[in-house]
């Protein structure tokens, strides 16, 4: 028997309702699949034992099909498990993704937080074509009342200065450093220019999609102790999905906006927590900035570690940091400095972080593969294996026909509101008395892009707070 071709068998599989225990060959390694999609890489110890905890269902459904795969394919046949019920069963057929039981939503009594002013700060250094794509995407997909602050850090590329100057307007403030100050000092200048507003640091080689800011802000304000929220990306190190530390190409035939819509609708709102964020697209709450100060521009003049240090300082003040897995931002990476210098700057920054925060690496290791993060990546793999999604529209007490859209309906029946999916199935309901609470929940959970029909004023205000259009 060729061990390189034939993977070690699964000798025993036990499920107690929350933890999967596997007995196999000593030190064997293989993929755990759920509903036919890779969930996690697991490895057995010297006794051939491995375990995987599933505190909640990544699919949103109680039943899952569990399988194992080696380098050359499946290991045995899938079996079924049910969350909360010990024992194995027949493998169920995969079902469409449902909301996660551990989702975090902005409660109705915290809607005022979503009205806080916010400024998008974009430090610029060279790469004019990427800068153009970044700024165009921000202006196209960000509300008019959000201030854009663009700062040219004395770019030597002669095309940059006239380019950014053209963006100066009532919406956009364009500043120029008289000499090169480095990324971190430039970012701090933007944070100061923003006044009392929250700040999003956005790299000039990033590109955003519709609803990006409203959803990023909701992630930041779902819990009061959150200091920052970072988007996910196709190419942003530990914040890349579905594969960490890799450049993730879009599925064949998909556009960036298709992918952003898919994650917005179905990646889930169980925001993974890490001891850091990533400055490629980092929402910083002003309360956290006031508590811990700005970025350290002395130790991290060119960036590459400044956001990690700031996040650790925030953690020391009792704050946490989340990954907004439903917000996808495209990222070119390495355009200002090139790969080699970026690697050198990254290593220099990492040395400072390790000296200042000796437990940082251990904190990252303990959270990088949390159940919430594994569920996020798994859901993205499932989404990317399917077809691009259609826009999702909620029709309020009216029959609305919208081309190339997925139309849900919200009707009033016998003193309650009933939410029906495009197949007419009632997926949720609430009394008229609790309609506002339920409406806020449905807007977040189902990622509607607009609400059509005669919407009562109080519900219309809720829709506007979440950046959902009215038609």
Q: Is the pLDDT of residue 129 over 90?
A: yes
pLDDT confidence of residue 349: 87
pLDDT confidence of residue 425: 95
Mean pLDDT, rounded, for 257-278: 98
By the 10 Å C-beta count (0-12 exposed, 13-18 middle, 19+ buried), 5 is classed as: exposed
Q: Which is more confident, 296 or 335?
A: 296
Work out the number of other CB atoms within 10 angstroms of the CB of residue 468.
19
Q: Which is more confident, 339 or 371?
A: 371
Phi, psi of 21 (to 5 degrees): -115, 130
Q: What is the DSSP letter of 240?
A: B
Contact 38, 50 (CB under 8 A): no
pLDDT confidence of residue 269: 98
Work out the number of other CB atoms within 10 angstroms of the CB of residue 457.
6
Mean pLDDT, rounded, for 420-446: 97
The domains of the chain, with CATH numbers, are 12-89 (2.60.40), 108-384 (3.90.550.10), 392-470 (3.30.420)
pLDDT confidence of 335, banded at 50, 70, 90? low
The chain-wide mean pLDDT, for the chain, equals 95
pLDDT confidence of residue 348: 83
Phi, psi of 349 (to 5 degrees): -65, -40
Q: What is the pLDDT of residues 340-391, one digit of tens each?
A: 666 777 788 889 999 999 999 999 999 999 999 999 999 999 999 999 999 9
Task: Name the residue among 228, 205, 208 with its Cα closest to residue 217.
Answer: 228
* Listed ranges 7-21, 61-75, 382-396; the one with the highest mean pLDDT: 382-396
pLDDT confidence of residue 333: 75
Query: Cα–Cα distance between 323 and 271 in angstroms, integer?
Result: 6
Q: For 424, left (φ over 0), alpha (ψ -120 to 50), or beta?
A: left
Q: Is the pLDDT of residue 3 over 50?
A: no
Q: Which is more confident, 160 or 397?
A: 160
pLDDT confidence of residue 74: 77
Q: Is the pLDDT of residue 1 over 50?
A: no
Q: How many CA atoms lie within 13 A of 134 on its CB side?
A: 29
Phi, psi of 448 (to 5 degrees): -70, 140
Mean pLDDT, rounded, for 71-97: 93
pLDDT confidence of residue 7: 62
Contact 186, 174 (CB under 8 A): no
pLDDT confidence of residue 343: 73
Query: Cα–Cα distance between 139 and 217 in angstroms, integer?
Result: 17
Mean pLDDT, rounded, for 395-422: 89
pLDDT confidence of residue 140: 98
Distances (CA, A) of 194 to 72, 118, 300, 305, 427: 54, 8, 21, 22, 42
Q: What is the pLDDT of residues 22-44, one digit of tens each?
A: 999 999 999 999 999 999 999 99
Q: What is the DSSP letter of 140?
A: H
CA angle at 218 for the pair 213 and 223, rounded to the nearest 5°? 145
């Amino acid at each position: 028997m060729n061990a390189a071709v034939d993977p070690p068998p699964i000798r025993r599989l036990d499920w107690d309702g929350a933890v999967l225990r596997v007995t196999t060959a000593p030190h064997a390694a293989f993929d755990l699949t759920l509903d036919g999609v890779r969930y996690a890489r697991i490895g057995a110890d010297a006794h051939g034992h491995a375990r995987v905890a599933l505190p909640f269902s990544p699919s949103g459904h109680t039943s899952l099909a569990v399988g194992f795969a080696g380098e050359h394919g499946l290991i045995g046949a899938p079996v079924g498990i049910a969350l909360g019920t010990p024992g194995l069963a027949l493998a169920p057929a995969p079902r469409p993704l449902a909301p996660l039981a551990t989702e975090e939503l902005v409660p109705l009594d915290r809607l005022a937080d979503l009205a806080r002013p916010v400024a998008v700060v974009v430090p610029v250094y060279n790469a004019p074509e990427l800068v153009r794509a970044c700024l165009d995407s921000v202006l196209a997909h960000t509300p008019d009342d959000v201030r854009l602050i663009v700062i040219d850090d004395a770019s030597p590329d002669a095309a940059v200065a006239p380019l950014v100057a053209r963006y100066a307007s009532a919406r956009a403030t364009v500043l120029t450093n008289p000499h090169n100050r480095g990324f971190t000092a430039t970012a701090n200048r933007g944070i100061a220019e923003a006044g009392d507003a929250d700040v999003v640091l956005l790299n000039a080689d990033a590109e955003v999609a519709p609803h990006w800011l409203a959803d990023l802000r909701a992630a930041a304000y779902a819990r009061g102790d959150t200091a920052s929220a970072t988007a996910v990306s196709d190419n942003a190190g530990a914040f890349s999905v579905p594969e960490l530390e890799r450049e993730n190409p879009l599925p064949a035939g998909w556009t960036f906006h298709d992918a952003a819509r898919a994650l917005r609708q179905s990646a889930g709102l169980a925001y993974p927590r890490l001891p850091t964020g990533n400055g490629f697209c980092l929402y910083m709450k002003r309360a956290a900035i006031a508590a811990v100060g700005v970025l350290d521009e002395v130790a991290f003049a060119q960036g590459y570690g400044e956001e990690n240090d700031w996040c650790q300082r925030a953690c020391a003040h009792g704050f946490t940091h989340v990954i907004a897995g439903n917000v996808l931002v495209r990222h070119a990476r390495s355009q200002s400095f090139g790969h080699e210098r970026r690697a050198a700057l990254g290593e220099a920054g990492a040395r400072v972080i390790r000296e200042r925060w000796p437990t940082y690496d251990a904190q990252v290791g303990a959270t990088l593969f949390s159940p919430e993060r594994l569920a996020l990546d798994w859901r993205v793999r499932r989404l990317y294996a399917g077809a691009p999604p259609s826009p999702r529209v909620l029709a309020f007490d009216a029959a609305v026909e919208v081309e190339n859209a997925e139309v849900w309906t919200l009707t009033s029946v016998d003193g309650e509101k009933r939410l029906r999916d495009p197949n007419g199935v009632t997926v949720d309901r609430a009394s008229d008395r609790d309609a506002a609470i339920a409406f806020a929940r449905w807007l977040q959970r189902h990622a509607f892009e607009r609400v059509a029909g005669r919407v009562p004023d109080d519900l219309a205000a809720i829709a506007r707070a979440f950046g959902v259009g009215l038609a």
